[in-house]
Amino acid sequence: LLDLVVVSEPQDIIVLHGQLPVRAISQHDLIYCVHSVNILKIKARFIKYRDFKNMNEAAFMSDILLIPWHDLENFNTVDDMVDDFNKNILPVYDKHAPYVTKRINKRHPV
């Protein structure tokens, strides 16, 4: 019988190899090979989103109604209107639905 362990890059993979006599169960020696395995680590990914789960809708609407919406009529360009709109509404969202950062781990493919 001829037993082989064949690898493409033995200097990079094989840690230990050898031959063991197992006379109690066979007249043939057992060959073995210990190889290293590099496990790829996947970087954790983070996502940022607004958490609306515990938002108090009544308090949110109350704060929205306090925004001076009529001030939007005083602007000449749409860009200025959007800037003012964002300046007024984003703090309300920050108060009632703050940003949350969550770690996402992907599993290794099998």
pLDDT confidence tier of residue 107, bands split at 50, 70 and 90: low
pLDDT confidence tier of residue 4, bands split at 50, 70 and 90: confident
**pLDDT tens track for 72-96:** 899 999 999 999 999 999 999 999 9
> What is the separation, in whole angstroms, between the first and last Cα of the chain?
34
Say how far apart CA 104 and CA 54 lie, in whole Å: 21
Say how far apart CA 64 and CA 86 lie, in whole Å: 12
**pLDDT tens track for 15-48:** 888 888 888 888 888 888 888 887 777 788 899 9
Between residues 105 and 88, the one the model is more confident about: 88
Every domain of the chain and the residues it spans: 1-38, 45-104
**35 Cβ neighbours under 8 A, 6+ residues apart:** 7, 13, 14, 15
